Structure 1
């Protein structure tokens, strides 16, 4: 049986990689901070499977 692999792309610009790597959550409103941590978690989870 063939397993179908479905990937969702996370579109980011080059400078976003710097933000993902060095984000500390300082100087932003709580909504932005929560959203950024959610994106970082998704990004890290996806990278561990490759």
Structure 2
């Protein structure tokens, strides 16, 4: 995700692409920096929730 934004950052976290933490198939895992992983997790956890 950093690369897509034109940044270079070391990967510190492993992201489950499909959001299922039980699916540890290599094809479902990708390295992300901590900041990008945190942002994605926050976005995924708030998906479908009504704010306000």
After TM superposition, the score normalised by the length of structure 2 is: 0.36
- The structure with the larger Rg is 1
Normalised by the size of structure 1, how large is the TM-score? Answer: 0.38
Bigger strand share: 2
Structure richer in helix, relative to its length: 1
